[in-house]
Amino acid sequence: MTTFAELTTMAVSEAEAEILAPATREELAETYRSLVDSGESFLIIAGGSNTVVSDDGFAGQVLRIVTRGLEFEDANGHVLVRAEAGESWTNLVARTVADGLSGIEALAGIPGSVGAAPVQNIGAYGQELSDVLTRIELLDADTGEVEWVDASELGLGYRTSVLKRGERRGLVLRVELRLARVAGDADAVPGAPVRYAQLAKALNVEIGDRVDVAAQQEAVLRLRAGKGMVLDASDPDTRSSGSFFMNPIVRHEFARELPYEAPKFDAGEDENGEKLTKLSAAWLIDHSGVKRGFALPNSGAAISSKHTLAITNHNGATAEEVVELARYVRARVQQEFGVLLIPEPNLIGLEV
């Protein structure tokens, strides 16, 4: 049988998984309904890039999302792209860039599946899925019905949604994106604006300059690879779940008390109109004394040698060794700066 180590990019937990892998959208919907109706616990996995499972495994069935398919529709100067939940996100970005479409080129190299993208509201280098997501096809867990749900109803925020928060239960079957055509058309915009300082520096341009989407994709992939954030079977620094902690969002007044050199970004306001600031989790970890390559004694888990935000399965780590290191990192940051880091991956049978 297949182990959870084989199903996840962190590659921990040799416990065996009981897998269901329906091949079509219709079969997937029927299998999901059956699992919900059974009342038994089950786990959903697609690319496995945002999941860490306990060494004891999971006491239930695993619904593996493998459905594939893309549709493209011209729509008033834009292109609507509908992608099945099991499509590789990396492959989707590559296809849209090759077709001269803009909106997700800065999200190149993010591992995982299309169906997981709106749950997490993935984002990087100045782009977020919420910028281009129009709607999702959702199988509602409570009604058993399949319906298209507008993006405005998903409560999308920084790495969150109503689905992630549990405010609505269901399975994403397809997503629909509205992308701009920036190549291959006489009326198209000659490139997409660069929105992120690090990306602009890599391209040797200014923020706001228009740059070919393929050039932006390539630059993003280089930047991510330099941080160990592009999967590479030969590189143990990429045996991870990507960023292990989210960038904290705190009250503006609290952020002012942190060291001047700590990176701080405007994060809007909360429901009470209080100003919020986003901090850099990587900076907080590094300046709490946890450096790149750090590992606890006799542990197979380590901080990436390329980027402090990734915890890696560097040398045959167990799931418990991964979370033990995560606990240590979080304790150091909280002790040094009073900030409690929140894990980004789904931890199954584990606590940080």
Tell me which residues are annotated as active site: 159, 243, 344
Please tell me whether residue 45 adopts helix, strand or coil conformation: strand
In DSSP terms, 18 is beta-bridged to 61
Pairing of the two strands 310-313 and 51-53: unpaired
How far apart are the C-alpha atoms of 282 and 198, rounded to whole Å?
15
107 closest CA partner among 79, 128, 130 = 128
Q: What residue has token string 């970004």?
A: 265
How far apart are the C-alpha atoms of 55 and 33, rounded to whole Å?
28
**Packed helices 213-226 and 89-98: angle between N→C axes, nearest 10 degrees:** 150
88 closest CA partner among 96, 100, 78, 80 = 96
DSSP state of 238: G
How far apart are the C-alpha atoms of 174 and 194, rounded to whole Å?
28
286: CB partners within 8 A, 6+ apart: 292, 308
In DSSP terms, 45 is beta-bridged to 64
φ, ψ at 77 (rounded to 5°): 85, -10
258 closest CA partner among 180, 338, 323 = 338
How far apart are the C-alpha atoms of 207 and 102, rounded to whole Å?
16
Please tell me whether residue 251 adopts helix, strand or coil conformation: strand
